Amino acid sequence: MTDDQVRILILDDNPEIAERLRKALAKAFESASESAELTVCTSFDVAEEKLKNERFDIAVLDVRLDEQGSQPADPDRGRKMYERVCAVQWLPVVFYTAAPDQVRDLHAPPLVSVVNKRNVKEAVEAVQAGLESGLPQFTRNVGAHMDHMLRAFIRDDVRPFWDELTEDDRQDIVPVLANRLSAYIRQTYLDDLHSDLPVHASAARFYLYPPVSPDLTTGDVLRDGDKWSVVLTPVCDLAHDPPKRPRKVSYLRLGAAVRVADSEPAKLGSDKLRGALTQVERYFLLPAFRSIPDLLVDFEQITSQPYADAESQGWERVATIDSPFCEAMLSRLGRFVSRIGFEDLPVDHLLAKAVKAAEAVKAAESQVTAP
């Protein structure tokens, strides 16, 4: 397979239907910039084996496939097939089926599409949409890149320091290597990995989108209609492992986040807004990314509410501010709430004295050097 060739797996126990779809897809790719390698299977076991050992970009699956041929089709066959496919290789899927209702709830185009078998044109369009999403190419690039990085990591960062890494408790080697590998990937992937996905680099690095943690955590960006908030409670207070380690806090601390255009500094003019974005510790900028608009977190608008209420009110967890940006936000919050104010010093007077003293020194030096 070349970089400009996509691989499509077609699975249908009816050879005639499978061949009709194969011809339609082949024709669709005749004038495309990419060529297509089309693989047809009439047995799921064969298809599953291929998915285990080969890389495909998208799969077209029949829902009512019956391996035995003489028994009624399992009504959950489509879902089970999807789960088995995902277990060996995740890729966009098009369910091309005469029983679309069995998998209708999985329909999430362009990554999972459900198409009636009566519409081969729609099936071709669903395949094209899945490929044009950019995810197959991204997955292919990431897989190859991660294999390369892991080999380089073991060769350059583990092998030379193995004795040092393992000289104490060998039980520590796994978390040490995991943390080191994570840092290694974070440091190098943006320079080495080329993705066709159109993302804004700085904003994309700012967030974990969607959130990774299953529970509310520090830096979560929350939305309730047009209202935005950010979780400011320290992560150590939110961490829990029930029933052994309960959550330390009963209340959640939230910082209000307002759209930059609607913020107080913006209403006062561009100079005030520039200062708020770059100098004033009261505010922290959240850059726009996907559904998140440009927001200003205002540290003068912090509220506390019971943790249980936060869960029951149905806040949408849109993203989590990633490291080191989350730490930078909390550091700015700490400086803002702990600052000690004092009256302005007579700066102009002090500057005038300093200039006068410098001129006096210069005059004295010139007298010494004069003939």
- Quick one: tokens of 139? 């997955």
Please answer whether residues 97 and 81 qualify as being in contact, where contact means their C-beta atoms are separated by less than 8 angstroms.
no
The superfamily (CATH) of domain 5-133 is: Response regulator (3.40.50.2300)
- What residue ranges of the chain are covered by domains with CATH 2.30.30.110? 206-338
pLDDT tens profile 13-56: 899 999 999 999 999 988 777 789 999 998 888 988 999 999 89
pLDDT tens profile 311-324: 667 789 999 999 88
Break the chain down into helix, strand, coil percent, rounded to 5.
Answer: 50, 20, 30
Which of the pair, 2 or 33, is modelled with greater confidence?
33
- Quick one: tokens of 79? 């879902």
Using DSSP's 3-state secondary structure scheme, residue 123 falls into helix
Please answer whether residues 215 and 241 qualify as being in contact, where contact means their C-beta atoms are separated by less than 8 angstroms.
no
Q: Which residue's structure tokens are 């496919």?
A: 85
- What residue ranges of the chain are covered by domains with CATH 3.40.50.2300? 5-133
pLDDT tens profile 154-210: 888 778 877 777 676 667 777 777 777 777 776 666 555 544 444 445 787 889 988
| 362 Cβ contact list (under 8 Å, min separation 6) | none
Residue 199's pLDDT is what? Answer: 46
- Quick one: tokens of 113? 């599409």
Residue 82's pLDDT is what? Answer: 86
pLDDT tens profile 216-228: 899 999 998 889 9
Residue 250's pLDDT is what? Answer: 82
Report the CATH fold assignment for 206-338.
SH3 type barrels. (2.30.30)
pLDDT tens profile 48-90: 899 999 989 999 998 865 544 444 456 677 778 888 888 888 8
Output the pTM of the full model.
0.60
State how far the Cα of 8 lies from the Cα of 15, in Å rounded to an integer.
Answer: 16
